[in-house]
Structure 1
Amino acid sequence: MFSRAHLLIEREFKILSKDPPWGIEAWPMYDDTVFEWMAKIKGLQGTPWEGGIFKVYIKFDEHYNVRPPQVLFQTIPFHPNVEVSTGRPCIDFLDDYSLWHENYSMSVLLLSLQTLLSYPVLKNAVNAEAASMLQTSPVSYRQMTQECVAASQRVEAGGSPQVRQPDSHAVRFNQDDAPARSSRPTRTAGGNTRVSKLSFDDYHTTWCGIATSKTRPDAINPFLETIRGNPTLQEIHLGVPREELEDQMKKQMEEHSILMYGKFKSQPSMESVRDAKIANLERMKKIYFPPRQSPLPPRDDIDIGKSLPALQANESNWEKEVDDLVNWTNNLDSNAIDAT
């Protein structure tokens, strides 16, 4: 026996499968539940988001359709009405349940997301940086949307989005709110795994917009010219802060110099040489000049005055012995010594 929400969700899936709106696909993620969906939304033709393929995670609960499901972009675009950290789109009936109506279908919800991409609302924007760029530099904002479109195409084709730092790039891929991986089998919109191909024209257009190399020596990259005077956009494009990039370039130059010319030891400064000599002298003093022992203080029970006569007597006896030895030596017979 299925719940009311389960039956309504199944009906929505059948309607979408039978008559899907242009550029929209949606399907349950697992075979054993219909409460978690994955959707793909393509950018509208004739808009900056044309060619983009953005994945959206949808989670229902037992209160559907009294209140709307939870909706999060898995491929988070650089957009004024999409939160950078969570991928939550800013749509009135998703933010305020009182504005949601039970007659709203999943087609209406997904079409609202598709329209929101191409027609952002700058009032109360949740991505202030994107809103400011759209107002002050529409050309730069269009280039950022093209980066988002190119990254989404690479992911759809099974490649890498080439995103290093999610917080500083135009497009990122959310993992925090993604459904937990499980052993349950997954399925796509058609029931089979599909691999999308990228045409050469799309590839060439994408490459010309984001590549830093040149097709010929006098070629000018319009995007690099646009961000030349804007450090913020340069950090977003390069993926690292400017200071970190300068450190990496300095490190690469040092490694190149070592490989080309060898590693030379720099000359020490005069202060370091002087300190080294002083330290060496201190070590030599400890080795060759043992510390002096201070004489013991005189004891109170020794009378120096009484000891002097005895010392003087010993000194006179020593002198007498020396004189006797000299006299005995003088009296020796040198001939007798030679004869022996």
Structure 2
Amino acid sequence: MHSRAHMLLEKEYLLLQKQPAWGIEAEPLRDDSLFEWMATIKGLKDTIWEGGVFAVNLKFDENFNNIPPSVRFHTVPFHPNIDMNTGQPCVDFLDDYSIWKESYSLLSILLAIQCLLSNPVLKNAVNQDACSILLETPDLYRQMVVDCVSASQRVLAGENLQADDAKVRFDKTEDGLVDKPITSQGRLAKVSFDEYLTTWSGIATSKAQANMKNPLLEAIKNNPKMQTAHFGLPLEELQQHMKKQLQEHNSLMYGNFTSKPDKKDSQDKKLDHINKMRKIYLPSRKIAPPPSTAQSEIGDPWEKDVDDLVEWTANLDEEELE
């Protein structure tokens, strides 16, 4: 005979199936036990949480419904009243057993959490970062909620994909019904080792030798139809492009050791470089104009001053100086 808590949970399950609420789904994780559930809660329409789908884990014990269940978000939203580390929502009747009432049902718990998303309580918030952003920069909070909604949709899509892979179908054989996993064609396929090696060698960025051939490009060269389909170039032009790219790649990776540079070209390049540096860094010198004929005959003015200074020095009396 089942316990009282088990029978109450059976009743809750039947009520959810008969009277479903918008945006809320819940079911036990195991067929042989009703004490652990997984629920999904959608954000309310005409709110910033619209479009979000959040998974919630509920754990009951034998004392239900004298005490509330343990509730944790599996897809944790960025919200002032939801702990980012544990995923526990801050709901008064879930945290305080004295407030909990036996009349509260599983649906009422999920509805309260659904309303909490769009109506945060900023007093005693468990996520202080979300609370501060909501108060100081509401636009940033709105954007973070939008990102959170998008992330929940991606998580849901991934879980649905795993659920589809886990489904089975039954094929009839001589020995009876045999379950056969359903797989999506094109998602999983067997590949031979030769095909794998050819593909890997074609896309690998490192080569064992510089002159190592690319098997994918070789296949294209040997098949004009593939070459035309992928590149739209004639075979000769394609080979020229490939040869040029290979030479550039080898010169960058290994250096160009095939030919020595011409000595004269190297010197010309150096001289050209030096001339350019001179023009940039050395100031231009102004060439003085040639002296006129009159100046050439008279001489520079400073020469006469020098002669006068020498003559005055020679006429000085040594005794008077002493």
Q: Give me the TM-score of the superposition, normalised by structure 2.
A: 0.50
Corresponding residue number in structure 1 for 2:90: 90
Distance 1:259 1:104 in 2: 74
Shift of 1:262: 5.1
- 1:36 counterpart residue number: 36
Q: Deviations over 1:262-310 (max 9, x none)?
A: 599xxxxxxxxxxxxxxxxxxxxxxxxxxxxxxxxxxxxxxxxxxxxxx
Which residue pairs with 1:115 in the alignment?
Answer: 115
- Give matches, 1:149-168, under 5 Å: 149-158=149-158
Cα separation, 2, equivalents of 1:153 and 1:19: 25
Instruction: Measure the CA separation in 1 of the matches of 2:98 and 2:40.
Output: 27
* RMSD value, Cα: 2.3
1:22 aligned partner, one-letter code: W
Aligned pair 1:71/2:71, yes or no?
A: yes
Equivalent position of 1:58 in the other structure: 58
Change (3 A) 1:263 1:44: farther
Question: 1:153: how far off?
Answer: 0.7
Is 1:148 aligned to residue 148 of structure 2?
A: yes
Give the CA deviation at 1:17. Answer: 1.1
Task: Name the aligned partner's letter for residue 102 of structure 1.
Answer: E
With over 3 angstroms needed to count, the CA separation of the structure-2 counterparts of 1:159 and 1:70, relative to structure 1, is closer
The one-letter code matched in structure 2 to 1:47 is T
Within 5 Å, give how 1:171-250 maps onto structure 2: none
State the distance in 1 between where 2:155 and 2:86 align: 19
Per-residue displacement from partner, 1:48-69 (whole Å, max 9, x unpaired)? 1000000000000000000000
> Residue 310 of structure 2 aligns with which residue?
none
The aligned residue for residue 100 of structure 1 is 100
Matches of 2:115 and 2:250 in 1, distance apart? 55
Distance 1:76 1:262, change over 3 A: same
Aligned residues: 169
CA distance in 2, matches of 1:64, 1:29: 17
Measured after TM superposition, the shift of residue 159 of structure 1 is: 7.0
Q: Which runs of 5+ in 1 are unaligned?
A: 161-184, 187-257, 265-340
Task: Give aligned-pair identity as a percent.
Answer: 57
Unmatched runs of 5 consecutive residues or more in structure 2: 161-165, 168-248, 256-322
Q: Which has the higher contact order (CA 8 A, sep 6+)?
A: 1
Match status 1:81 vs 2:111: no
Which secondary structure does the structure 1 equivalent of 2:150 belong to?
helix
Question: Aligned equivalents of 2:2 and 2:108: distance in 1?
Answer: 25
Measured against aligned partners, the alpha-carbon deviations of 1:200-223 in whole angstroms (never above 9, x if no partner) come to: xxxxxxxxxxxxxxxxxxxxxxxx
Give the match for residue 295 of structure 1.
none
Query: In 2 relative to 1, CA 127–259 (structure 1 residues): closer, same or farther, beyond 3 Å?
Result: farther
Cα distance, 1:158 vs. partner? 1.7
Separation (CA, whole Å) in 1 of partners of 2:28 and 2:96: 25
Structure 2 match to 1:17: 17
